[in-house]
Amino acid sequence: MPTLKANDLYLTYGDGYIFDGLSIAIDSGQPPVGLIGPSGVGKTTLIAALSGQLKVPRGTVTFDGRPVNRLRLKSKSEFNARVRAVSQYSMTVSDPRLTADRRLRDAKKIARRGGRSHATLVEDMLIAVGMDPEAGYRPMLTLSGGERQRVALATALATRPEILLLDEPLTALDPHSRGAMARHLGDLIAQLGIGVLLASHDLELVERLCPTVHAMADGTIVASGALSEILSDPENESLKELAAAAPLAVQRFR
């Protein structure tokens, strides 16, 4: 099974470090891996580096043993289809004419260029994320934030990826819909055998989907394991603050 791996990443911002020797690996076909940490710690930046959108000056990001930032032409197209990211900014829409149908058809083109074409209908892709297929023909600007997030997930899944990088994927959904979508997403991930890195402040979502969680602070991974173990008696000051900010959630995990 292919592995997406960051090894010994270093990245500075001002006088501090965003990455200070950070290493992490996500394996296709394995249960989802969670990523937690305080706001501004660099979780979104890490996903940008893992997806090849950001080149880090020191350290390497590899997929299937090959450096991501050195991929060219066909190999890059294959990577873009095999590794997909859903960021918290995926809901941004600049073209008022853009529809979910168009967005998903564009994703199918990426799949074809990456050698992962398939005959799944756009309507079926929308149904897979709990959307009415008729919504596919409405302009994205008329969709709710939750509907746009569902479209972003469907777009990422449209290439049948082996690795999925999720950055706050369900924040725009109401609590009831978030719970239902979390269950549905967990089933989809297991069914498709996708390796997942889930970065989120939603501790309940992380706990529900991820048996293994990495805690990020001070530019690196400071703790790994089950979420209940990480937050039960954290040593790192940032993790203490994170646990203190969600006492009810932490109590439920114990």
Torsion angle defined by CA atoms of residues 235, 239, 242 and 244, in that order, rounded to the nearest 10 degrees: 0
pLDDT at residue 110 tops 70: yes
Burial class (CB in 10 A: 0-12, 13-18, 19+), 95: exposed
58 falls in which pLDDT band (50, 70, 90)?
A: very high
- Residue range 69-75: average pLDDT? 90
The count of domains in the chain is: 1
In the sheet that 163-167 helps form, which strands lie side by side, from edge to edge?
83-86, 163-167, 195-199, 33-36, 212-217, 220-225
Overall average pLDDT of the 88-111 stretch: 84
Angle between helices 145-157 and 175-192 (to 10 degrees): 0
pLDDT at 89 over 80: no
Share of the chain above pLDDT 70, in %: 97
Tally Cβ neighbours within 10 Å of residue 40: 10
Would you give the distance in Å from CA 183 to the centre of its chain? Answer: 16
Q: Are 29 and 2 in contact (CB under 8 A)?
A: no
Three-state SS at 220: strand
Residue 238 has pLDDT above 90, yes or no: no
CA distance 149 to 16: 33
Confidence of residue 161 (pLDDT cuts 50, 70, 90): very high
Q: What CATH number does residue 83 fall under?
A: 3.40.50.300
Q: What is the span of the domain harbouring residue 91?
A: 3-253
Pick from 87-101, 150-164, 170-184: least confident: 87-101
Tell me the C-alpha distance between 105 and 102, whole Å: 5
What lies within 8 Å, CB to CB, of 105 at 6+ separation is 122
Rg (CA), the chain: 18
**Under a CB-based contact definition with an 8 Å cutoff, are residues 67 and 60 in contact?**
yes
